[in-house]
């Protein structure tokens, strides 16, 4: 049996009869949430972030048209597909719903087959988009975030550090003599080393705020939000030692190993501080670690 979590659907309707009927149709396949008026529906949508919303138009208080307008103005729910399910069946009502960016429109009385099909269609689109986004933000070989994902996270944490006057650390890391390793053992074995190293980086950084990514080739980066210079040095040294002690098996059980050079930077950024300089300073420290003999940590020189 698959452990993959179910997709979720939120029903916003003030009719208990409709809620019961739709819940019976969808609950075997999806996790179903229920809201019995527009205000509750908006709050529930923001709380549970459903994959699809089924929304009645005629409700007391906020009607469906007002609810979708508000949902589309909220960043967390703006992209959530909304299917109107209502007794209003004129072309004008349908056109109005679609102009408000509804994904689909089901007229009452509805059949279970139509509800299942329309919801399944939107769920498939949501899952496809989610897969595409995941692939665009993760490195396919190592299965950790890629450079684009790292840059997005770094921008977020950099501005947070400026705003809150908190420290932020970065590690730029390069596997030593990786080309020679590839030439000796082959590119497939080189890929095994990269994957094993990525696993080691993740295992060495346990906090939720630590962010490991593949920068490109044999180069990796770690973002350490809310970490001072002493903490940055501690994590960097832990990574260096763990890589040095890492064993990578190749053909016929042969044991291979690797080392890593690390360039680090840590600051409490001023309001006019440059993010590019923050990164380049760590990169310069990395090259210094290489020049000084590899398998070592060098900090950015103030």
Pair (153, 97) in one structural domain: no
Q: Model pTM?
A: 0.70
Predicted pLDDT of residue 88: 67
pLDDT tens by residue, the chain, 302 residues? 456 789 999 999 999 999 999 999 999 999 999 999 999 999 999 999 999 999 998 888 899 999 999 999 999 999 999 999 877 666 676 677 678 888 998 888 889 999 999 999 999 999 999 888 888 999 999 999 999 999 999 999 999 999 999 999 999 999 999 999 999 999 999 999 999 999 999 999 988 889 999 999 999 999 999 999 999 999 999 999 999 999 999 877 889 999 999 999 999 999 999 999 999 999 999 999 999 999 999 999 85
Predicted pLDDT of residue 98: 72
Asked which of 111, 136, 161 is the last residue of a domain, the reply is 136
Q: Which one from 164, 218, 244, 252 is the annotated catalytic residue?
A: 218
Position 1 in a domain: no
Pair (153, 293) in one structural domain: yes
Pair (158, 272) in one structural domain: yes
- CATH number reported for the structural domain that contains residue 237 in this entry: 3.30.70.270
Position 120 in a domain: yes
Pair (36, 162) in one structural domain: no
DSSP the chain: ---PPPPEEEEE-S-HHHHHHHHHHHTTTSEEEEESSHHHHHHHHHHH--SEEEE-S--SSS-HHHHHHHHTTSTTTTTS-EEEEES--SHHHHHHHHHTT-SEEEESS--HHHHHHHHHHHHHHHHHHHHHHHHHHB-TTT-SB-HHHHHHHHHHHHHHHHHHT--EEEEEEEETTHHHHHHHH-HHHHHHHHHHHHHHHHHH--STTEEEEEEETTEEEEEEET--HHHHHHHHHHHHHHHHT--EE-GGG-EE---EEEEEEEE---TT--HHHHHHHHHHHHHHHHHTTSSSEEEPP-
218 is catalytic: yes
Predicted pLDDT of residue 90: 62
Pair (286, 230) in one structural domain: yes
């Amino acid at each position: 049996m698959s452990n993959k979590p179910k997709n979720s659907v939120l029903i916003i309707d003030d009719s208990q009869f409709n809620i019961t009927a739709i819940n019976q149709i969808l609950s075997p396949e999806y996790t179903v949430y229920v809201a019995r008026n527009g205000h509750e529906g908006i709050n529930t949508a923001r709380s549970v972030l459903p994959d699809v919303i089924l929304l009645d138009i005629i409700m007391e208080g906020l009607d469906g048209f007002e609810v979708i307008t508000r949902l589309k103005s909220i960043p967390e729910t703006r992209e959530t597909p909304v299917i109107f399910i209502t007794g209003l069946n004129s072309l004008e009502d349908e056109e109005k719903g679609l102009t408000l960016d509804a994904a689909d429109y089901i007229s009452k009385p509805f059949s279970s087959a139509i509800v299942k099909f329309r919801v399944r269609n939107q769920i498939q689109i949501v899952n496809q988009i989610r897969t595409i986004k995941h692939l665009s933000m993760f490195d396919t070989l190592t299965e950790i975030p890629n450079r684009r994902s790292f840059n997005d996270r770094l921008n977020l944490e950099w501005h947070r550090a400026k705003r809150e006057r908190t420290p932020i650390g970065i590690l730029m890391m390069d596997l030593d003599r990786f080309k020679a390793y590839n030439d000796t053992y082959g590119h497939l074995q080189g890929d095994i080393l990269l994957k094993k190293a990525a696993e080691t980086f993740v295992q060495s950084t346990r906090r939720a705020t630590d962010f490991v990514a593949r920068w490109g080739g044999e180069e990796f980066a770690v973002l350490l939000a809310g970490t001072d210079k002493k903490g940055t040095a501690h994590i960097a040294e832990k990574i260096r030692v763990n890589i040095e002690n890492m064993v990578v098996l190749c053909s016929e059980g042969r044991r291979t190993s690797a080392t890593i050079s690390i360039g680090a930077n840590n600051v409490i950024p001023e309001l006019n501080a440059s993010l590019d300089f923050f990164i380049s300073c760590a990169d310069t420290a990395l090259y210094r670690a290489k020049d000084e003999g590899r398998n070592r940590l060098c900090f950015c020189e103030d």
